A and B are shown apart, each in its own frame.
Chain A
Amino acid sequence: MHPTNGRVNGHHRRNGTPRYSAWSLVQHGLTGAEWSRAWRAHPMRKSYDVVIVGGGVHGLATAYYLATNHGIRNIAVLEKGYIGGGGSGRNTAILRSNYLTPEGVRFYDRSIKLYERLAADLNFNVMFSQRGHLTLAHNDASLRTMHWRAEVNKLQNVDSEVIGPDKIKELVPYLDTSTTTRYPILGALYHPPGGIIRHDAVVWGYARTADANGVHIHQKTEVTGIDVEGGRVTGVQTDQGRIATPVVVNCTAGWATLISDMAGVRMPVQTFPLQAAVTEPVKPFLDTVVVSGTLHVYVSQTDRGELVFGASVDPFASYSMRGSLEFTEGVAGHVLELMPAVSKMRLLRQWAGLCDMTPDYSPIMGPTEVEGFYVDVGWGTYGFKAGPVSGEAMADCIANQRPPEIISAFGIDRFLQGRLVGEKGAAAVGH
């Protein structure tokens, strides 16, 4: 354990947070000294005011905003593996707000705004690159959906417009925009503020600043049960012992129903694997994110030069995180239809993560019928971009004991009332 104050290995720790500077970088570069830990391990307390299950971006952001916006600091984040080991460390890091419903657009737009200032808020470089996002249309039906989305977006002040093949070619010269392909490109929804981010940095930044504000992050701590007495939460059981708490927040994405089952809360969530793949690095040639719903594929180039490929979820529900040959073949074929020039590039890796799919492709957020048991789940293939706004809104919801306006459409009661928030047209492929 490092001391929590003073100079540690040449850089400052204030309020427990190591401070990074150009000087400390040079010094560590020259001496090869170890950096002190960005978040600490604590002994587990017998009770906490709030217990958050799941150490992904949603759980950590909720802890961070509870501590910083509401002064609730006696919080535990319980993570069965390591933080960011779930979807938050496996996603393809695409951020955008050009959704289809007004409720969705408003919500994701707030998240983008928070992401834009996140590096400053956390004093941690999250490498948000707002390079622009293109969703291609290959037929009249999708072109119509693009126009629809553009109009809904503009009404919410979100920069979004439909552009034609000439403009597309200008933005992405390597794209095959000829009219002789199997699915010629008719147009695209162009969303300049969309882009990619360093997902691990987001997780680590939230963890580090939450830690500095007194939050306890317990890794390798698995929740095995939730104690409910008289319709309200009293504690959680873990493989490290019991914790008494009046508030439990379920932020476990692909594992969400397993946790809700422990509290006796049923949910409209099914777990599907989603795969992605990455190529060897090459020189920069692609500075936008390109998505094709018709071809079930999307492509971006990382700052390191690798191409990142993704697709839609696997065709059947599963908790297995294995890759499949069908995915690799499909993705490779479809990428080549879009960009024949990359045919010589080699895939380096492929992987999968678990996605908590809901019937309407919108999340489930807020209180449940069990008092003190909150959910922030249903993040499907698109929840990384929602980390900041979800953390902010869930913290507000817990501190003030009612869902704030921005998430009022996402309550679990919508499935009884038939008020679904249908986002399939904007979320099925272009995460």
Chain B
Amino acid sequence: MMLLTCPWCGPRNSTEFRFGGESHPRPRPDAATPEEWRDYLYFATNPRGWSRETWYHGSGCRRYFAIERHTETNEHRAIDERRAAEARR
């Protein structure tokens, strides 16, 4: 059992959510190479540690949100938007 904190609803049992996997930026459809599509569709970082991922609160607010979760301890934390923006740059 894992408690997951929805940014809108607060802490809930993880069974209320659906795991959406690692979040990667989607390549531009008009410019992407086959390699970029492969990476986006299939490849995963699969880190043993902190992972940035998408979850869907199906039995709650029914919104998608991004979160950072530790894949070994299942601790999680809200995404630091400033850091995320820096990483994207």
- From 46 to 89 in chain B, residues with beta carbon under 8 angstroms from any chain A beta carbon are 46, 48, 51, 53, 71-74
Q: Is the CB of A319 within 8 A of B38?
A: no
Asked if A140 is at the interface of the complex by the 8 Å CB criterion, the answer is: no
Q: Is the CB of B1 within 8 A of A416?
A: no
**Nearest CB in chain B to that of A267: its residue:** B43
Asked if A317 is at the interface of the complex by the 8 Å CB criterion, the answer is: yes
State the CA gap A257–B19 with chains docked (Å): 20
**Neighbour of B72 across the interface among A257, A267, A320, A416, CB < 8 A:** A320
**Nearest CB in chain B to that of A258: its residue:** B48
Q: Is the CB of B48 within 8 A of A319?
A: yes
Given the known A-B contacts A317-B71, A320-B72, A320-B73, are A359 and B19 also in contact in the complex, defined by CB atoms under 8 Å? no
Q: In the complex, which residues of chain A have a beta carbon less than 8 angstroms from the beta carbon of B30?
A: none
Count residues of A near B (Cβ-Cβ below 8 Å).
Answer: 21
Given the known A-B contacts A317-B71, A318-B71, A326-B1, are A268 and B19 also in contact in the complex, defined by CB atoms under 8 Å? no
Q: Looking at the assembled complex, report how far the CB atom of B10 sits from the nearest CB atom of chain A, in whole angstroms.
A: 19
- From 275 to 320 in chain A, residues with beta carbon under 8 angstroms from any chain B beta carbon are 315-320
**Neighbour of A325 across the interface among B1, B42, B72, CB < 8 A:** B1
**Neighbour of A415 across the interface among B18, B42, B53, B71, CB < 8 A:** B42
Q: Is the CB of A320 within 8 A of B42?
A: no
Q: In the complex, which residues of chain A have a beta carbon less than 8 angstroms from the beta carbon of B14?
A: 315-316
Given the known A-B contacts A324-B1, A325-B1, A326-B1, are A318 and B44 also in contact in the complex, defined by CB atoms under 8 Å? no
Q: In the complex, which residues of chain B have a beta carbon less than 8 angstroms from the beta carbon of A270?
A: 21-22, 44, 46
- The A contact surface, by secondary structure, is loop
Q: Looking at the assembled complex, report how far the CB atom of B60 sits from the nearest CB atom of chain A, in whole angstroms.
A: 15
Q: Looking at the assembled complex, report how far the CB atom of A83 sits from the nearest CB atom of chain B, in whole angstroms.
A: 21
Q: Is the CB of A326 within 8 A of B15?
A: yes
Given the known A-B contacts A325-B1, A326-B15, are A317 and B35 also in contact in the complex, defined by CB atoms under 8 Å? no
State the CA gap A324–B15 with chains docked (Å): 11
Q: Looking at the assembled complex, report how far the CB atom of A212 sits from the nearest CB atom of chain B, in whole angstroms.
A: 35
Q: A316-B14, A320-B74, A416-B38 are in contact. List 6 more A-B contacts (CB 8 A).
A: A270-B46, A316-B19, A317-B19, A318-B72, A325-B1, A415-B41
Instruction: Identify 20 residue pairs between A and B in the complex whose beta-carbon atoms are under 8 Å apart, listed by A's number.
Output: A255-B48, A257-B45, A257-B46, A266-B39, A267-B43, A268-B42, A268-B43, A268-B44, A269-B46, A270-B22, A271-B71, A315-B14, A316-B19, A317-B21, A317-B22, A318-B74, A320-B73, A359-B42, A415-B41, A416-B35
Contact surface of B with A, Cβ cutoff 8 Å: 1, 14-15, 18-19, 21-22, 34-35, 38-39, 41-46, 48, 51, 53, 71-74
